[in-house]
Structure 1
């Protein structure tokens, strides 16, 4: 078929939350698209519990869910842990990555996955200053800032003021 260039842009603006889902192509098939217009609060994503629970103050009666390691997690990772949860770590350039964070033996251990045996990052907490930083951001409203002398600050997003307080209590 002749190449007619890119498809035309929509003439009207699309509703918020609209996206087109890509479908894998079979050999010899033309592309098909599944379109959805779901409310993003109902969509499942790995960062779901960090989304705003009560947008513009109209609480939807949702309970804040704390994420714990999955069942297939190696229990050795969390054995003897003082606290653990999946938290988002702020990387350079403002990107965030989800890590399993565990405090054990006065160390913060961060794993990429609950199945990993070796932590991606290990930080001795003695000599660190740890503070809760409330944010005005839309998604990440509470951050823990961990500063170790001579090192860049480590910033972790927590889900609530209460979760920040739990982590602060355990780290003191």
Structure 2
């Protein structure tokens, strides 16, 4: 597995080895020792699967309590994955990174604790699978307004489909210090 740092060094792009033949393909979606070799000792405890239609924007979400590292991959379709650094002591605080993930490339994205996460669906639909290092905890869930003009994220979709909850999230400059990392 090839692992590369992104424009935000703690967000990692993983490219698993894909073995193809006339039957199809095989790949390891997760191997603990690959992340340990990068200095990441993570115990994933929850797996999630999300299905969304073209133009959907999900996010930006994070948990201030029971914080989660995430390992994201796309089982079907193509998404634009987004991670926003909310770690106050980080050199990249308030910056974001975007990565196109697809079922064709099989690339994965590792997002550590301290980031808000979201994605937009660029294909007809998408199945997004991700591992989390802690359990979903509704009381600790927080969000960031997906279309914050200060962040100016290009979600690469026309007429985005966004939940009411995501439409009501605060702007980056409105997030209380206690809700940052």
TM range (shorter): under 0.3
Between the two structures, name the one with larger relative contact order (CA 8 Å, sep ≥ 6).
Answer: 2
Structure having the larger proportion of residues in strand? 2
Structure having the larger proportion of residues in helix? 1
Give the structure-1-normalised TM-score.
0.25
